Structure 1
Amino acid sequence: MGGFARWITSNLGSAIPQSMAPITYGLATLAHGDAKGGALMMTAMTAAQVLGAVPIAAAGRRFSVSAYARVLVAFRSLAFAGLAIAIVGGAPVPALVAIASLAGLVNGAIFGVLRSILNDLVTANKLPRALGITATANELVFVTGPILASTIGGMSVIAAVAIMAVTSALPLVVLPRIAKRTPTPAVAQVRPKSIRLGVLVWLLAAGSAGACVASVEIGALALALRHDLAPSAAFYFTVPLCIGSVLGGVWVSIRNRRPRGRFVVGMMLVTGAGAVTVAWGGWLAAAIAGAVLIGLCLAPLGTSFSLSLDDVLHAERRAEGFALLQTSKAIGVIVASSVIAFASLEAALLTTASLTLVAAIVVALHGRQRPPGSDGAARLQAAQSSDGAFGR
């Protein structure tokens, strides 16, 4: 198995537990007669991810990145195993919430470390394709994960949690070994202020786009009811969004080029327009079309944000930088769910659309300030002149 194939297997193994968690947690607490306990477990897991992502990712800077990834993966797998044992023992809901937070504590760091490893396995001219394939595969996981959780968890919650623990441990077996990195002399040539500004711009963009996606995914049930459909018709909105995302990932993979600045700004505006269409779409077809628009932009935007962060991050800071990227998406989810909970679905969609508009303006202004011969573009052009391939 080649290096990239082993990496993407590890990445998917890491994503499966997160895709199964919402339904599995709900089923776990339902046994206690608590219908809202699952949401509390997800909140605790997400909050722990936000708090732990950067410091935990940064703590691994002195170690081999693949060895540190295995340590984080082992910790999370043990947490899921502990959750299964707690369910068997009839532990109360607060204990389940505490264990879920332990599992979430390393989620962001795992994402950041795995994404930084990809730079060691794939040459720069192949990164857009690799990220497009990853986005497509992840979207398929997040479509099938809830189905798996419902099917297996409906028969045995313990079996569903066991699957989460086993798939989470996949990187222990298949993740390629990467030697410990050594600091590069080029680090001193980049100004810290420009790095911080670039990172903040792309984190804002990723968080706002992620909030738009979350508004549709979390509000799917409310959308179904608003259009006088049965609650089970929530998939009318989530499935088109996922299909759009898969198509966007396929487009990125085939094209194998990073989207240019104006195109990125345009996709962000389309994402915001999609959210507005879902919010104000009196017709079911219009709301579905809005969800598809958001989905189509998801993979190209995710690829662009990841590559843009790559340009401004030092090699030894990539793990925490990419962990921050995941954290910004998690914060977007928190914003969307909070507005839905305390205001309305329409307010959440319009709020996230406004955030995306602001982020698009910031990205456009940031693009004008960057010199045409920036280090990131120069590195990419140099790499594209080589014959790089997956699995170095």
Structure 2
Amino acid sequence: MSYLRWSVTAQFLRLPAMMAPLAFALLATQMTGSYRLGGVMMAVFITAEILVAGPVGRLLDLFGVARGLRVLLVVSAFWLCGLTLVASSPVLTIVLVVLTGFAAGGLSGGIRALLPKSVAPGFLERAVAIDAVVIEIVVVSGPLVVALLTPLGVVAPVLGMAGAYLLAVLFVPTVAAAPRARGERPKLGSIMIWLMSSFGFGVLISTIEVSSLPFAQRLGGGPEFAVVFMVVLIAASMAGAGLYAWGGPAITVDRSVRTAFFLVVMAVGGVLVAFGNSWPLLIAGLVTVGVCTGPLNTTISMHVQLTLPESRKAEGFSLVFTAQAGGFALGSLCVALLPVIGAPLVGSAVALIAAFGVISAHRGALYRRVTSAVANQEARS
């Protein structure tokens, strides 16, 4: 029951981000007659989230994650309600969007930090993988909710985003604040390579998702085929996450090796997508990328969980989500600047670099452990 409550909170917390692109575009079109302001709103919203995610996560660790999440959710809803009141002014609209991004920046890291307190210890990895399946449902639901609310008025989707934040407040699990040892100054350097992995994932997956329409057009299709493109990718992602939830906890292979493997396989899938001049080849690439999405994110999440102390988990997870968001931003930029074949190739290259970094760090850690053991043995003798 506690995991169910956590999951309900997490999905309501995530829903506004999935609604935002279409909701902002509709509001901007009503205001200016063009959707372009909506693109600017989305860009500054994500930028604001990225800028404050780490510091806000740190504050959540210091003052209590559950209590801090409730405050941030209410503040985010407040700014979104204010946005509907100033929608006639583009400048004030941007200001309110920035303030909303500042308030929402630490939400993802904060809710993830609460998960271990909401499940049995042996169920944690499986719970993370199950959550990866549910996230895909939320991704699909966001635009659908906007479409259902739009007939009520152009500001209704934005108010719906605020309502989702307020509903999340009702379900935030009540947990005790993490004890903090005096003088504790743990470092975040131990997760830097995992931030790079998350960044590489973000670059690759965004170069594929954002390119859905250009790839469909290359094969003679239109928007309806772009929808098929995304359905295949999402279905593969849900299947991969579901399989990993079932069998992942039993895998004994080191998580560094697993992460590198998933990144390499996704890179291969990205190359298949880039050169997919037929639907079978394109679908094969999409499935190859999609089935690794959930397992990769689960593996990264579990490593961060086991590496960072309790007093820095919200900050650490916020940084992971920030790295992924930064990767999404770079991948989207690649799609805008490069030929349709070039963007996935860049994404694959970044994923391979991240995989190489993970393996190099893993080998270095093994070397340090071996040499340390030798030194201890020599000292004893």
Q: Normalized against structure 1, the TM-score is what?
A: 0.88
> Partner residue of 1:7?
6
1:318 and 2:309 are equivalent in the alignment: no
Alpha-carbon shift at residue 147 of structure 1 (Å): 2.2
> Partner residue of 2:373?
none
Query: What is the rounded CA distance, in whole Å, between the counterparts of 1:295 and 1:55 in structure 2?
Result: 32
SS of match in other structure, 1:60: helix
Query: What is the rounded CA distance, in whole Å, between the counterparts of 1:7 and 1:102 in structure 2?
Result: 26
Out of 272, 285, 293, the residue aligned to residue 290 of structure 1 is 285
SS of match in other structure, 1:62: helix
**Which ranges of structure 1 fall in alignment gaps of 5 or more residues?**
375-392
> Partner residue of 2:215?
223
Out of 116, 132, 140, the residue aligned to residue 113 of structure 2 is 116
SS of match in other structure, 2:63: coil
Show CA shifts across 1:221-261 (max 9, x none).
22222222113321121111110111112112222517633
Asked if the contact 1:128–1:252 (Cα under 8 Å) also holds between the matched residues in 2, the reply is no
> Partner residue of 2:177?
180
Asked if the contact 1:281–1:287 (Cα under 8 Å) also holds between the matched residues in 2, the reply is yes
- One-letter amino acid of the structure 2 residue matched with residue 36 of structure 1: R
Inter-CA distance 168–353: structure 2 relative to 1 (3 Å threshold): same
Show CA shifts across 1:49-107 (max 9, x none).
110101111123332221111011111111221222233xxx23333222222222233
Query: What is the rounded CA distance, in whole Å, between the counterparts of 1:81 and 1:17 in structure 2?
Result: 13
Alpha-carbon shift at residue 187 of structure 1 (Å): 5.6
- One-letter amino acid of the structure 2 residue matched with residue 69 of structure 1: L
Instruction: Summarize the alignment of residues 140-289 of structure 1 with structure 2, pairs less than 5 Å apart.
Output: 140-153=137-150, 156-184=153-181, 192=187, 195-196=188-189, 198-257=190-249, 260=253, 261-289=256-284
Alpha-carbon shift at residue 262 of structure 1 (Å): 2.8
Inter-CA distance 345–152: structure 2 relative to 1 (3 Å threshold): farther
> Partner residue of 1:126?
123
- One-letter amino acid of the structure 2 residue matched with residue 14 of structure 1: L
> Partner residue of 2:377?
none
Inter-CA distance 115–371: structure 2 relative to 1 (3 Å threshold): same
> Partner residue of 1:380?
none
1:58 and 2:69 are equivalent in the alignment: no
Query: What is the rounded CA distance, in whole Å, between the counterparts of 1:217 and 1:84 in structure 2?
Result: 30
- For these two proteins, the number of residue pairs brought into alignment is 365
Q: Which moved more, 1:91-100 or 1:104-113?
A: 91-100
Asked if the contact 2:273–2:344 (Cα under 8 Å) also holds between the matched residues in 1, the reply is yes
Show CA shifts across 1:15-67 (max 9, x none).
11111111111111111212211111110011001101011111233322211
Asked if the contact 2:15–2:161 (Cα under 8 Å) also holds between the matched residues in 1, the reply is yes
Asked if the contact 1:268–1:357 (Cα under 8 Å) also holds between the matched residues in 2, the reply is yes
Query: What is the rounded CA distance, in whole Å, between the counterparts of 1:25 and 1:69 in structure 2?
Result: 24
Query: What is the rounded CA distance, in whole Å, between the counterparts of 1:42 and 1:160 in structure 2?
Result: 14
Asked if the contact 1:128–1:258 (Cα under 8 Å) also holds between the matched residues in 2, the reply is no
SS of match in other structure, 1:257: helix
Q: Normalized against structure 2, the TM-score is what?
A: 0.90
> Partner residue of 2:375?
none
Alpha-carbon shift at residue 176 of structure 1 (Å): 1.3
Asked if the contact 2:213–2:226 (Cα under 8 Å) also holds between the matched residues in 1, the reply is yes
Alpha-carbon shift at residue 156 of structure 1 (Å): 2.7
Alpha-carbon shift at residue 154 of structure 1 (Å): 5.6
Alpha-carbon shift at residue 325 of structure 1 (Å): 0.5
Between the aligned residues of both structures, percent identity stands at 26
Asked if the contact 1:258–1:304 (Cα under 8 Å) also holds between the matched residues in 2, the reply is no
Show CA shifts across 1:140-168 (max 9, x none).
11012122223433653222112111111
Inter-CA distance 373–6: structure 2 relative to 1 (3 Å threshold): farther
Query: What is the rounded CA distance, in whole Å, between the counterparts of 1:372 and 1:185 in structure 2?
Result: 32
Out of 347, 354, 357, the residue aligned to residue 359 of structure 1 is 354
**Which ranges of structure 2 fall in alignment gaps of 5 or more residues?**
370-381
Asked if the contact 1:53–1:106 (Cα under 8 Å) also holds between the matched residues in 2, the reply is no
> Partner residue of 1:332?
327
Alpha-carbon shift at residue 292 of structure 1 (Å): 1.8
Asked if the contact 2:62–2:311 (Cα under 8 Å) also holds between the matched residues in 1, the reply is no
Inter-CA distance 165–318: structure 2 relative to 1 (3 Å threshold): same
Inter-CA distance 76–304: structure 2 relative to 1 (3 Å threshold): same
> Partner residue of 1:378?
none
Instruction: Summarize the alignment of residues 336-355 of structure 1 with structure 2, pairs less than 5 Å apart.
Output: 336-355=331-350
Asked if the contact 2:258–2:299 (Cα under 8 Å) also holds between the matched residues in 1, the reply is no
Show CA shifts across 1:109-133 (max 9, x none).
1111111111222233211111011
Asked if the contact 1:19–1:146 (Cα under 8 Å) also holds between the matched residues in 2, the reply is yes
Asked if the contact 2:149–2:160 (Cα under 8 Å) also holds between the matched residues in 1, the reply is no
> Partner residue of 2:372?
none
Query: What is the rounded CA distance, in whole Å, between the counterparts of 2:182 and 2:119 in structure 1?
Result: 22
Larger radius of gyration: 2
> Partner residue of 2:38?
38
Query: What is the rounded CA distance, in whole Å, between the counterparts of 1:295 and 1:251 in structure 2?
Result: 12
Asked if the contact 1:25–1:42 (Cα under 8 Å) also holds between the matched residues in 2, the reply is yes
Inter-CA distance 159–233: structure 2 relative to 1 (3 Å threshold): same
Kindly report structure 1 stretches of 4+ aligned residues shifted beyond 6 Å: none
Instruction: Summarize the alignment of residues 360-375 of structure 1 with structure 2, pairs less than 5 Å apart.
Output: 360-371=355-366
Alpha-carbon shift at residue 274 of structure 1 (Å): 1.1
